[in-house]
DNA sequence: AATTCGGGGCC
DNA sequence: GGCCCAGAATT
């Protein structure tokens, strides 16, 4: 197929499966490499469907080094499906705090309940049943069953998209469905019949440790001999994506409202950012972090009448896709009483903040509260 | 097919 | 400051 006089790009762009020879080389070399180079991970040393499931959910859009401490704590508190299913959602969220994409935790919790009610507490082994669980898509179902039950199923995610695009010279826009189809086809053709889980992990491990986005270590790559991108020196051009990440600037303020030593927290509603987590009342402000009628905003959101006392402290926190300009105001005097509202709001002693799963910015404010409220800037 | 959802690692 | 990360659900 390759090696004739036609441009390489033309031929390989249409190659959507590895031929038998390349399949064999990929499997052999990658499994050998994986046996000697794989990193230690807590879900590898002790393997079960439950542990691999939890790890795969945590690993969605999240790097291994970030996940490991969360995984350890989570498994200590929720060692099996039953303990997870029985827990309150708020408790589950507490152990997810700081990891991001909190819907993952809520769906994980829902799925645990489903497994108890519909599968007798045993994580299912049928691909369709697993795919039907909330929070589990094509990648995660294949990953769990191949890794924890050695089922010959393909996977495709960030790392392996890059690996396959380079190995096979896939030049199409990776966002396009046609390109995705080609990549899934490549992934399917390389599935190892003997050790599918190890080969899948080897592909991902290669993508994160060797076949990296910026500085791929092709010299130490076990499969550079069959890599189209390496042969044509296009490692840095593949995979191609036309999509550019854009940031949306956000200016928001949180307001510290205290009464009798307690502070007002509200639980973020479904549909808004940090759904289910707790936060200080938060409002949109202008570019300078100011709002023309902050007291009215507080009243509108919480049903409380407040008197804004000072505006002495500010900090910034950058979040991917958002930039939050965070300012805090302290309202010392609250005239109104707590009213019944749609919002789930609560007066919380500052020493009890740790009992609430919080947004990262909310946690930051909570952690620095002591220095904030004793600051001379706030109480001149 | 495009958006949304977080936070951190890494250059 | 930008890009990327063991993606899924929603619109």
Distance CA A23, CA A4 (A): 21
Bridge partners, residue A289, by sequence? none
Measured between alpha carbons, how far is residue A26 from residues A11, A78, A92, A200 in Å? 20, 38, 40, 11
Q: Which residue is nearest to nucleotide C4 (CA to C1')?
A: A213
Cβ of A65 near strand C (distance < 7 A): no
CATH number belonging to domain A8-231:
1.10.340.30
Spanning CA of A276 to C1' of B1, the rounded length in angstroms is: 29
- The CATH topology of domain A248-373 is Nucleoside Triphosphate Pyrophosphohydrolase (3.90.79)
Q: Which residues have C-beta within 8 Å of that of residue A275, sequence separation ≥ 6?
A: A102, A103, A106, A268, A269
Q: Rounded CA gap, A67 and A71, in Å?
A: 6
| Nucleic strand C near CB of residue A38 (< 7 Å) | no
The pLDDT profile of chain A, 380 residues, written as one tens digit per residue, is: 333 333 334 334 456 899 999 999 999 999 999 999 999 999 999 999 999 999 999 999 999 999 999 999 999 999 999 999 999 999 999 999 999 999 999 999 999 999 999 999 999 999 999 999 999 999 999 999 999 999 999 999 999 999 999 999 999 999 999 999 999 999 999 999 999 999 999 999 999 999 999 999 999 999 999 999 999 999 999 999 988 777 677 777 777 777 777 888 989 888 888 999 999 888 777 655 555 566 666 666 555 555 444 333 333 232 223 334 455 555 544 444 444 455 688 889 999 999 999 998 888 888 877 766 554 333 32
How long is the CA A21 to C1' B6 vector, in angstroms? Answer: 43
No. of helices (H) and no. of strands (E), chain A: 17, 9
| Domains A8-231 and A248-373 belong to one CATH topology | no
Pairing verdict, β A322-331 and A248-259? parallel
Q: Which residues 6+ apart lie within 8 Å of A217 measured at CB? A: A209, A210, A211
Could you tell me the two tokens for A198? 């190890």
Q: How far apart are CA A148 and CA A135, in angstroms?
A: 18
DSSP 8-state assignment for residue A82: H
A221: number of Cβ within 10 Å: 22
State yes or no: is A86 an active-site residue.
Answer: no
Nucleotides of C under 7 A from a protein CB: 2-9
Domain extent listing, chain A: 8-231, 248-373
Nucleotides, chain B, CB distance < 7 Å = 1-2, 5-11
The Cα A358–Cα A96 span in angstroms is: 10
Which residues is A240 bridged to in the sheet? Answer: A173
Residue A10 to residue A19: CA distance in whole angstroms: 17
Neighbours of A38 (CB within 10 A): 14
CB of A97 lies under 7 Å from some atom of strand C:
no
* Residue numbers 237-296 of A with CB closer than 7 A to any atom of strand C: 241, 244-245, 247
A162 closest-nt by C1' vs CA: C4
Residue A243's nearest nucleotide, by CA–C1', is B2
- Return the SS3 of A210: coil
């Amino acid at each position: 197929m390759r090696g004739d006089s036609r441009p390489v790009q033309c031929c390989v762009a249409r190659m959507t499966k590895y031929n038998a020879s390349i399949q064999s080389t990929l499997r052999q070399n990658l499994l050998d490499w994986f046996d000697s180079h794989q990193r230690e991970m807590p879900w590898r040393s002790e393997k079960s469907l439950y542990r691999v499931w939890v790890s795969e959910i945590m690993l969605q859009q999240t790097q291994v080094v970030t996940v490991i401490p969360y995984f350890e704590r989570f498994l200590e508190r929720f060692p099996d499906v039953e303990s997870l299913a029985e827990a309150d959602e708020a408790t589950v969220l507490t152990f997810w705090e700081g990891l991001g994409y909190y819907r993952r935790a809520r769906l994980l919790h829902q799925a645990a309940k489903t497994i108890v009610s519909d599968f007798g507490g045993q994580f299912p082994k049928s691909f369709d049943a697993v795919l039907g669980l909330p929070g589990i898509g094509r990648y995660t179902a294949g990953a769990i069953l191949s890794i924890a039950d050695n089922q010959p199923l393909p996977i495709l995610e960030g790392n392996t998209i890059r690996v396959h695009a380079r190995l096979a010279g896939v030049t199409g826009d990776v966002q396009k469905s046609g390109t995705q189809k080609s990549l899934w086809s490549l992934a399917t053709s390389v599935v190892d019949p003997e050790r599918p889980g190890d080969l899948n992990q080897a592909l991902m491990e290669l993508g994160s440790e060797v076949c990296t986005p910026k500085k791929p270590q092709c010299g130490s790559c076990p499969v550079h001999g069959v890599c189209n991108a390496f042969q044509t020196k296009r490692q840095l051009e593949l995979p191609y994506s036309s999509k550019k990440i854009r940031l949306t600037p956000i200016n928001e303020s949180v307001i510290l409202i205290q009464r009798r030593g307690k502070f007002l927290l509200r639980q973020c509603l479904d549909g808004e950012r940090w759904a289910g987590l707790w936060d200080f009342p938060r409002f949109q402000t202008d570019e300078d972090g100011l709002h023309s009628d902050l007291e009215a905003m507080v009243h509108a959101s919480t049903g409380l009448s407040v008197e804004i006392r000072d505006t002495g402290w500010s900090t910034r926190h950058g979040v991917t896709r958002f930039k939050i300009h965070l300012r805090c105001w302290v309202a010392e005097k609250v005239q109104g009483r707590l009213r019944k509202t749609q919002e789930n709001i609560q007066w919380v002693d500052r020493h009890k903040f740790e009992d609430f799963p919080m947004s990262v910015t909310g946690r930051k404010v909570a952690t620095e509260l002591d220095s904030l409220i004793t600051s001379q800037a706030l109480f001149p």
